[in-house]
Structure 1
Amino acid sequence: MSRGRQALLALCAVLACGLLLLLPAARRHGPARRPANATVRAGVTPGDPAVAYREAAVPAASRPDVLLLHGQAFTSGTWQALGTLALLAAEGHRAVAIDLPGYGDSPPARTVATQRGRASFLQHVVQQLGLQSPVLVSPSMSGRFALPFLLAHSEQLAGFVPIAPVGTREYSAVQYRQVQTPTLILYGDRDTGLGQQALQSLRHLPKHRVVVLPGAGHACYMDKPEDFHRALLGFLGQLQ
């Protein structure tokens, strides 16, 4: 056998070994994960008040439902654009984001002028959408809705994720201590105003943990979406 042919066979052998070494790594990592069955649809709840929402559902959701509220400068579309709805659906959650009254496609509602009215509003949403013990995600302004609902109907929630919500000082430490809902307190380390202020009140919730996103401001989920999603999914995973 000529030296040229021997060299060619040796080169082929080296290449074949290299491919064999790469195969396990390919099996481990696989292709980039893409959300499955995560088409987002829009709708409006029946009844009064009517509420516009976006939903990403899986055929047989095996993990807790998630209800996402929004801050004053945002709408339900924020969670779609950020990929949160699709990501949650890919992880087996039914995920619903609503437009609060007077925001997005939801008309204003007189019934939300009081704390009791806002708590009743969220109860109406949960019932109309058929959510089963959802995890409530509440950033900023939406705390006006989430906090009265939490304190009045905490038994209806599987979890609570406040993201620097407003209105925390309107309730006492005694009221917070009565809530047994698992809670993830989330805020950005650059939110030295409302984020830390909310923490001072919410730390009285008995079953809470705190995650501070480095380099993120008030809308920390916008500044650091990957870190936010990682923290949210980690919390949801602990509720199984």
Structure 2
Amino acid sequence: MEPQEKFVEINGAKIHYLELGNGRLVVLHHGARFNAYTWNEVGTISSIAEAGYQAISIDFPGYGKSSSGRFNSLSDFIGDFIDTLKLQKPILLGASMGGEAVLEYAVDHADKIGGLILVGAVGVSSFESKLHNLDGLPVLLIWGKHDSVSPKHNAELLLKYVKTAKYVNIGNQHACYLDDPNGFNAQIKDFLKGL
């Protein structure tokens, strides 16, 4: 099954996303070197759909097929996307830069999300004073064994404040989903089926 390509206008920007499946929503956010199609190429979108969920993979403003627009931050953009599409408690997945943006949104709006999947998220220490807001939410942390971009300390910080977080290693590098897409997608399916 191939995802549908869709566009939505947010704050005057034309935002591109891919959509597949039915059920509870998982919104996927890419890293700085990637775009919405990355999650299709590694099979994550179809894995989420197979788990009985609906996947929405976004091109951040100025990435992929999305125009730049006027947003104060990627975190603000995530909030605007959720509000514009009237998404009900989506589970947010973010890798690297996308993980930082998702985390920044989540610590201030924990009541608006249904869970988090952070993949080698960067900048975690910036939000240390608010990480406890996520405790009680289902959180999956996926890091490459030898991530040189986001050290293991970032995951440990989240585990310290979020007792409901689970930590797993997949692959070696920062973009661990490229090393072992099958293992990566299996962890996500297990996490979603346990919700």
Question: Is TM more than 0.5 here?
Answer: yes
CA distance in 2, matches of 1:91, 1:200: 28
**Contact kept? 2:99, 2:122, Cα under 8 Å:** yes
CA displacement 1:145-198 (0-9 Å, x = unmatched): 2121101111111110111111111122x4111223211111111215514132
> What are the residue-to-residue correspondences of 1:222-233 with 2, within 5 Å?
222-233=178-189
What number of residue pairs does the alignment pair up? 192
Amino acid at match of 1:51: I
Amino acid at match of 2:95: P
| Residue 198, structure 1, aligned to residue 126, structure 2 | no
227-236 vs 194-203, greater mean Cα deviation: 194-203
Amino acid at match of 1:175: K
> What are the residue-to-residue correspondences of 1:25-40 with 2, within 5 Å?
38-40=1-3
**Contact kept? 2:8, 2:15, Cα under 8 Å:** yes
CA distance in 1, matches of 2:28, 2:48: 11
More helix by share: 1
Question: How far off its partner does 1:222 sit?
Answer: 1.0
**Contact kept? 2:51, 2:192, Cα under 8 Å:** no
Taking a change above 3 Å as real, the CA distance of residues 108 and 200 of structure 1, as seen in their structure-2 partners, is same
Structure 1 spans left out of the alignment, 5+ residues? 1-37
TM-score, normalised via structure 1 length: 0.74
**Contact kept? 1:190, 1:218, Cα under 8 Å:** yes
Match of 2:21 among 57, 61, 84: 57
159-168 vs 201-210, greater mean Cα deviation: 201-210
**Aligned twin of 2:35:** 75
CA displacement 1:119-139 (0-9 Å, x = unmatched): 332122113334321111110
**Contact kept? 1:162, 1:184, Cα under 8 Å:** yes
CA distance in 2, matches of 1:195, 1:131: 32
- How many percent identity over aligned positions? 28
> What are the residue-to-residue correspondences of 1:170-185 with 2, within 5 Å?
170-172=126-128, 174-179=129-134, 180-185=136-141
Structure 2 spans left out of the alignment, 5+ residues? none
Dislocated runs of 4+, deviation >2 Å:
127-132
CA displacement 1:189-225 (0-9 Å, x = unmatched): 1215514132132122231011112x42110111101
Question: How far off its partner does 1:91 sit?
Answer: 2.2
> What are the residue-to-residue correspondences of 1:125-144 with 2, within 5 Å?
125-144=81-100
**Contact kept? 1:188, 1:195, Cα under 8 Å:** no
Per chain length, whose mean CA-contact separation is higher, i.e. which structure has more relative contact order (CA < 8 Å, sep 6+)?
Answer: 2
**Aligned twin of 1:30:** none
